[in-house]
Amino acid sequence: MSTSSGTGSANHRNGTHRSSLRAQSSASTSSAAHKPSLKSKTVLRKSSPAALGSAPSASKSGNGGDSGVPGRVRVAVRLRPRNGEEMIADADFADCVELQPEVKRLKLKKNNWDTDTFEFDEVLTEYASQKRVYEVVAKPVVEGVLDGYNGTIMAYGQTGTGKTYTLGQLGEEDVADRGIMVRAMEDILAQVSLETDSISVSYLQLYMETVQDLLDPANDNIAIVEDPKSGDVSLPGATLVEIRDQHSFLELLQLGEAHRFAANTKLNTESSRSHAILMVHVRRSLKTESNGNSHMTKSLKPPLVRKGKLVVVDLAGSERISKSGSEGHTLEEAKSINLSLSALGKCINALAENSSHVPFRDSKLTRLLRDSFGGTARTSLVITIGPSPRHRGETTSTIMFGQRAMKVENMVKLKEEFDYKSLSKRLEVQLDSLIEENERQQKAFVDEIERITVEAHNQISEAEKRYANALEEEKQRYQNDYVESIKKLEENWSKNQKKLAADRLALGEKNGLEVTSNGNRSIAPALEEVSELKRMVQKEAQLKMAAEEEVNRLKLQLTESKRVEVSGNSEIMRLHKMLETETQQKEKLEEEIATLHTQLLQLSLTADETRQNLERHGSQKTSGGALDSFMSQLKLPQLQDPGNAEKPPVAKLFEQVGLQKILSLLEADDADVRIHAVKVVANLAAEEANQQQIVEAGGLTSLLMLLRNTEDETIHRVAAGAIANLAMNETNQELIMAQGGIDLLSSTAANAQDPQTLRMVAGAIANLCGNDKLQTKLRSEGGIAALLGMVRCGHPDVLAQVARGIANFAKCESRASTQGTKRGKSLLIEDGALSWIVQNAKTEITAIKRHIELALCHLAQHEGNAKEMVKEGAIWELVRISRECSREDIRSLAHRTLTSSPTFLTELRRLRVDIR
Ligand SMILES: Nc1ncnc2c1ncn2[C@@H]1O[C@H](COP(=O)(O)OP(=O)(O)OP(=O)(O)O)[C@@H](O)[C@H]1O
């Protein structure tokens, strides 16, 4: 209800109250739940044939380019019930109109006897509910807007006949009173999906030819823009508010109504003095139908959007100025209103008469409504009339306006277009997501590469570790073997030392007494020599220790290098070489030590002889006197310092004693004489120049006889040594064999306990083994068996001679095989030498090792031995030799034998051993 009381004075409605403006709270809001599809809406529209402005069968090509279909302006007439004033004033008069809603006719009484009948699209009596009015007047238009058409709902009528009531009633006291604006928004909100669709609203008033923003009154000169091509009218300067719920819409309506100009006219206490225009923009996205196209094609197709615009126009009341009682500013308002309404009427007349000129530009109202009359919009007009006969003229005028409007034909056009903007946005989102995915994949790829690299590094370092461990183990093994052999050497040396000391003590004790009593010759020179040799041995031992320390230092260096540079294979190789050099030095030292041992042994023998001579109390006048003198001159010349001692010439010796004499002494009854004699012969035989004479003089035979007839091991040892020396000559070898030498040497070996005796015997047989002609005989007489029998003593010197003999024998066999004179398995193998060879192949004693390696290589030359060698495991030793042997000639010989034997090659392939 209006609170304004000033008659004829224009007021803003801001702060005023009018029933239609009061805010509604709950009943009017509607949810924006899921909406039916466009298709179903089309069906719904078609199922409402009675509705005003039913939907045209417009083409939905989707491009918005259709020219539209004819759609006439639909017109409904609504009669307001008598108001309080009319009930009193017109109490005695009948209504000026009679409605026949069932035939959609209205009878206008001209006088008591005459009526005019008019037909409308809808006739709404004073009893028509607001809901029904909405459904017949507005709903089809609203549905059209939702389908993408522009729509106009407009109320036209005399002041106070219910235009605002019909359109703008908020229904805040009674929800049944809600007008078209509220119900239209409810329907729209119920139909759209706010996720994909949008609703925005402008609310304006046209007052005194000025367009003013009702949502922002300061914005009061808004331009009307017409699209010359489409004829669309827009107000780009107007505030556009997005609507997401009914409540905010109602607040917006209230705000707009508060700013609307209203006045208390004679005919309406709350008369609207401006034309109010509500614009609702509905933008809906169409779901793209899938027709089997690829995802990419689909995503490149811009989405279709439909843009419907609903324009609700609440015109200011039409009235006769005289009746409105307007004056002053209100008069100006009334004039302006009438001017704009008459311009609208003129346009509608022109349109109704299909006039070539429609004067839209005569007023802002007609410019604003250009699309609604004769344009592309679907338009529904409700004309409101009052029942009072006093206003028959205005009622007639309103009815005639409606009648003419009914003749106006619009070309309803679908506002559908491709939404390139949203396509671009969607593609941008897709592109970003693809970029992100690509980035993720790239990261995953890089991570995978990193993982594989780390894994590879781990595997490499694992392999390096395994290699280092294996290397360390191997090194440790070599070191252990080395320490072991050093220990053995030391034991032997100290044993010899002890023996020497004991001998010296015994000799010294006896000699001291004898020298003072009878003045005989002294043993002092011998003792000096002994101590000299001892010093030399000690020096050698010191050298050995120094070498050991050097080795240890190098080992430490090797360990340090390993720690600093695990992967430094070149460094390891270098250290290996150094180690090898040291090992060679060690071997050299060992050999020197062995030589010293031999010298020491011989010295001890000399000392022994001297002692025995002294025991015989100066028996220099006996038959042995010349010999002793000779012996003292001999003094093992090879042991003397070459710089100090002059070697006695053989001619001088023979002159003094005579070879025959010396040889005859070999058969002397006195054992001592025999011993002295055999030593002299042995010394003579050590020189190649004497050998022939000795043999020719029967020395060899005598020596062999000694082996047979004597049980003295010293004689055996010295004689065997002499035979060994003589056996270096090929002719002598045959002689030895012919005189049953093998048998004699074998039995000597079988009975010998002293390793040096065995060494001499083994040396003699080893020399015989090197004779190609004697192979079979030597073997048949037990030469190989005798050699193998001597390994029982385990002394390295003996083993070295045994290995040498085997190597010599194998070499001759190999030669015979190559020449084709030898077939079948090696005699060595037949006599069981192979297993001993294999067992000792890994020895660290170079003197043994070299001979064994050579023996293996020679045996491997003959294919007839290959099977047995594989069986006995000799093939592995050959592989090792081919890889590790420090002597290049042996290494390549082993490699050659392995690669030239089909049996070995097959076996290596089977075992997957690569020997390249
Ligand atoms: N159909 C109706 N039923 C009941 N009351 C009505 C009806 N139509 C109008 N009224 C009442 O009539 C009065 C005037 O109505 P309204 O303000 O809507 O008229 P109007 O045409 O908008 O006037 P103006 O042009 O001056 O603004 C209001 O009090 C309204 O409630």
- The single residue listed with the structure tokens 């040498």 is 804
Ranking 75-79, 270-274, 451-455, 474-478 by mean pLDDT, the lowest is 270-274
More confident: 289 or 238: 238
User: What is the per-residue pLDDT for 47?
Assistant: 29
pLDDT of the residue at 346: 93
Q: Is 130 in the pocket of ligand 1 (CB under 6 A)?
A: no
In a mutational test of the pocket of ligand 1, which residue from 2, 19, 77, 165 has the highest number of ligand atoms less than 8 Å from its CB? 165
Of 629-643, 711-725, 726-740, 855-869, least confident by mean pLDDT is 629-643
Tell how far the Cα of 156 is from the centroid of ligand 1, in angstroms. 12
pLDDT of residue 15: 34
Tokens of 271: 């008369």
Same domain, 536 and 608: yes
Instruction: Give me the domain span that covers residue 835.
Output: 772-916
Calculate the average pLDDT of the chain: 80
Q: Are residues 463 and 414 in the same domain?
A: no
CA of 9 to the centre of ligand 1 (A): 19
- What pLDDT does residue 433 have? 85
- Tokens 């009679």 found at: 98
How many whole angstroms from 31 Cα to the centroid of ligand 1? 30
* Ligand 1 and 261: CB distance under 6 A: no
* Any ligand 1 atom below 6 A from CB of 165: yes
**Which residue carries 């946005």 as its tokens?**
425
Q: How far is CA 530 from CA 102, 525, 593, 599, 880, in A?
A: 160, 9, 16, 10, 44
d(CA 207, CA 261) in angstroms, rounded, equals 8
Beta strands 122-124 and 74-79, pairing class:
parallel
Residue bearing the bigger pLDDT, 347 or 62? 347
What is the C-alpha to C-alpha distance for residues 679 and 673, in angstroms, rounded to an integer?
A: 10
> Are residues 911 and 804 both part of a single domain?
yes
Q: Quick one: pLDDT band at residue 766, thresholds 50, 70, 90? A: very high
Q: Do the domain assignments include residue 604?
A: yes
The total of other beta-carbon atoms located within 10 Å of residue 599's CB is 17
Whether 58 and 193 map to the same domain: the answer is: yes
Residue 281, strand partner residues: 200, 309
426 exposure class (CB count in 10 Å sphere: 0-12, 13-18, 19+): middle
Q: Which atom of ligand 1 is nearest to the CA of 272?
A: 27
Binding positions for ATP: 157-164
The encoded tokens of residue 109 equal 């009484």
- Asked which of 150-164, 231-245, 580-594, 720-734 is least confident by mean pLDDT, the reply is 580-594
Classify residue 54: in a domain, yes or no: yes
Query: Which neighbouring-strand residues pair with 304?
Result: 418
Please identify which residue in the block is written with the tokens 């669309």: 232
Among 363, 393, 418, identify where a domain stops: 418
Highest mean pLDDT among 54-68, 83-97, 130-144: 130-144
* Ligand 1 nearest atom to the CA of residue 273, by list position: 27
pLDDT score recorded for residue 250: 96
Q: What is the DSSP string of 696-726?
A: HTTHHHHHHHHHHH---HHHHHHHHHHHHHH
Q: Which atom of ligand 1 lies nearest, measured to the CA of 128?
A: 1
The whole-angstrom separation of Cα 379 and Cα 337 is 21
The protein residue whose alpha carbon is closest to atom 8 in ligand 1 is 162
Ligand 1 mean position to 705 CA, how many Å?
A: 166
CA 117 – CA 105 distance, rounded (Å): 7
Task: Compute, in angstroms, the gap from residue 83 CA to the centroid of ligand 1.
Answer: 9
Residue 794 DSSP class: -
Structure tokens at 644: 């100090």
Task: Quote the CA–CA distance of 187 and 184 in Å, as a whole number.
Answer: 5
Does the pLDDT value for residue 897 go beyond 80? yes
DSSP-assigned beta bridge partners for residue 242: 200
Rounded alpha-carbon distances, angstroms, from residue 30 to 37, 184, 529, 859: 18, 11, 133, 110
With beta carbons less than 8 A apart as the criterion, state whether 45 and 140 touch: yes
CA distances from 659 to 513, 651, 905 (A): 36, 10, 59
* Other Cβ atoms closer than 10 A to 318: 25
Rounded CA separation 748/773 (Å)? 24
Q: Which residues are annotated as a binding site?
A: 157-164
Q: How far apart are CA 495 and CA 530, in angstroms?
A: 16
* Å from CA of 804 to ligand 1 middle: 141
Token pair belonging to 113: 């006897």
Residue 630 belongs to a domain: no
Judge if the beta carbon of residue 771 lies within 6 A of ligand 1: no
| Residues 353, 463 within the same domain | no
Please, which pLDDT band fits residue 300 given cuts at 50, 70 and 90?
A: low
Judgement on whether residues 194 and 269 belong to the same structural domain of the protein: yes
> Which residues, at least 6 apart from 105, have a Cβ–Cβ distance to it below 8 Å?
99, 117, 118, 119, 120, 123
**Chain-centre distance of CA 242, in angstroms?**
51
Q: Can you tell me the distance from the alpha carbon of 600 to that of 500, in angstroms, rounded to the nearest whole number? A: 9
- The proportion of the chain whose per-residue pLDDT surpasses 90, expressed as a percent, equals 39
Which ligand 1 atom sits closest to the C-alpha of 265? 26
Phi-psi region of 152 (alpha: psi -120 to 50; beta: other; left: phi over 0): beta
Q: Are residues 375 and 489 in the same domain?
A: no
Local structure of 453: helix, strand or coil: helix
Q: Which atom belonging to ligand 1 lies closest to the Cα atom of 80?
A: 1
Mean pLDDT of 5-30: 33
Q: Among the listed ranges 130-134, 405-409, 413-417, which one has the minimum average pLDDT value?
A: 413-417
Q: What's the structural domain count of the chain? A: 3
Point out the least confidently predicted range of 238-252, 295-309, 482-496, 807-821.
295-309
In tens, the pLDDT along 789-835 reads 999 989 999 999 999 999 999 999 988 888 888 788 899 999 999 99
Q: Kindly report the CATH number assigned to the domain that includes residue 384.
A: 3.40.850.10
Is 122 a domain residue?
Answer: yes
Q: Are residues 409 and 469 in the same domain?
A: no
Residue 416 pLDDT class (50, 70, 90 cuts): confident
pTM of the shown model: 0.47
Q: How confident is the model at residue 46 (pLDDT cuts 50, 70, 90)?
A: very low
The answer to whether residues 327 and 203 belong to one domain is yes
Label residue 105 by pLDDT band (50, 70, 90).
very high
476 falls within a domain? yes
CB of 161 within 6 A of ligand 1: the answer is yes
Give me the mean pLDDT over the 339-368 stretch: 91
Structure tokens of 512? 């001291």
| Between residues 734 and 526, the one the model is more confident about | 734
Query: Beta 378-385 vs 151-157: how paired, if at all?
Result: parallel
Q: Report long-range pairs for 520-526 (Cβ below 8 Å, ≥24 apart).
A: 520/614, 520/617, 520/618, 521/614, 523/607, 523/610, 523/611, 523/614, 526/606, 526/607, 526/610
Q: Is the pLDDT of residue 737 over 70?
A: yes
Q: How far apart are CA 416 and CA 393, in angstroms?
A: 44
For the beta carbon of residue 894, count every other beta carbon within 10 angstroms: 25
The two structure tokens encoding residue 307: 């843009």
Position 93 pLDDT exceeds 60: yes
- C-beta separation of 827 from 781 below 8 A: no
CB 758 within 8 A of CB 745: no
Q: What is d(CA 171, CA 24) in angstroms, rounded to the nearest whole number?
A: 6
Query: What percent of the chain is predicted at pLDDT more than 70?
Result: 78
Greatest mean pLDDT range, 1-15, 19-33, 63-77, 314-328: 63-77
The residue out of 615, 643, 669 marking a domain boundary is 615
Distance 164 CA to ligand 1 centre (A): 6
Which among 97, 164, 315, 333 is the best mutation to test ligand 1's pocket, defined by most ligand atoms within 8 Å of the CB? Answer: 164
Question: What is the per-residue DSSP string for 318-350?
Answer: B--HHHHT--HHHHHHHHHHHHHHHHHHHHHHH
> Residues 6 or more apart from 8 whose CB is under 8 A from it?
263, 264, 265, 325, 326, 327, 328, 330
Query: Which of 109-118, 514-523, 603-612, 742-751 has the least mean pLDDT?
Result: 514-523
Question: For residue 250, which phi and psi values (nearest 5 degrees)?
Answer: -65, -40
Q: Are residues 246 and 341 in the same domain?
A: yes
Which of 128-137, 662-671, 903-912 is the least confident region?
A: 662-671
Q: Is the pLDDT of residue 395 over 90?
A: yes
Mean pLDDT within 47-72: 47
Task: Indicate whether residue 330 lines ligand 1 (CB < 6 A).
Answer: no
Helix axes 833-840, 796-819, angle to 10 degrees: 120
Residue 160 alpha carbon to ligand 1 centre in Å: 5
The closest residue, in CA terms, to atom 16 on ligand 1 is: 162
Residue bearing the bigger pLDDT, 3 or 459: 459
Asked whether the predicted pLDDT for residue 310 surpasses 90, the reply is: yes
Band of residue 726 on the pLDDT scale cut at 50, 70, 90: very high
Q: Name the residue of 268, 271, 330 to mutate for ligand 1: max ligand atoms within 8 A of Cβ.
A: 268
For residue 896, give the CATH number of its domain. Answer: 1.25.10.10
* Domain final residue pick, 365, 393, 418: 418
Strand 198-207 vs strand 378-385: parallel, antiparallel, or unpaired?
unpaired
Element (H, E) at 281: strand 275-285
Residue 600: pLDDT over 80: no
Q: Residue 669: inside a domain, yes or no? A: no
Q: Rounded to the nearest whole angstrom, what is the distance from the C-alpha of residue 203 to the centroid of ligand 1?
A: 21
Cα 329 to middle of ligand 1, angstroms: 23
81 lines ligand 1 (CB under 6 A): yes
Which contiguous run of DSSP H or E holds residue 76? strand 74-79
Q: Which of 40-49, 274-283, 328-337, 694-703 has the lowest mean pLDDT?
A: 40-49
C-alpha 271 to ligand 1 mean position (Å): 9
Give all strands (DSSP E) within 145-272, no chain letters.
Answer: 151-157, 198-207, 210-213, 225-226, 233-234, 241-242, 261-263, 271-272
- Tell me what percent of the chain is helix, strand and coil, each rounded to the nearest 5: 60, 10, 30
The reply to whether ligand 1 has any atom less than 6 angstroms from the CB of 159 is yes
Q: What is the ipTM of this complex?
A: 0.99
The span from the CA of 149 to the CA of 161, in Å, is 30
398 and 466 share a domain? no
For residues 615-635, average pLDDT: 46
Distance CA 172, CA 863 (A): 121
Is residue 33 a part of any domain in this protein? yes
Distances in Å between the alpha carbon of 412 and those of 72, 409, 581?
Answer: 9, 9, 111
User: What one-letter code names the amino acid at 487?
Assistant: K
The β-bridge partners of 149 are 414
pLDDT confidence tier of residue 49, bands split at 50, 70 and 90: very low
The angle at the Cα of 312, spanning 310 to 316, to the nearest 5 degrees, equals 160
**pLDDT, greater one: 64 or 827:** 827
Give the closest residue to 191 by CA, choosing from 235, 156, 145, 237: 145
Helix 671-685, helix 713-726: angle, nearest 10 = 20
Please give the angle made by the CA atoms of 652, 656 and 659, to the nearest 5 degrees: 90
Check whether residue 267 and residue 195 sit in a common domain. yes
For residue 249, is it within any domain? yes
pLDDT tens per residue, range 189-236: 999 999 989 999 999 999 888 999 999 989 988 999 988 887 788 999
**270 C-beta closer than 6 A to ligand 1:** yes
In angstroms, rounded to a whole number, what is the distance separating the alpha carbons of residues 327 and 325?
7
pLDDT for position 264: 54
Q: For 15-29, 87-101, 215-229, 404-418, which range has the lowest pLDDT when averaged over its residues?
A: 15-29
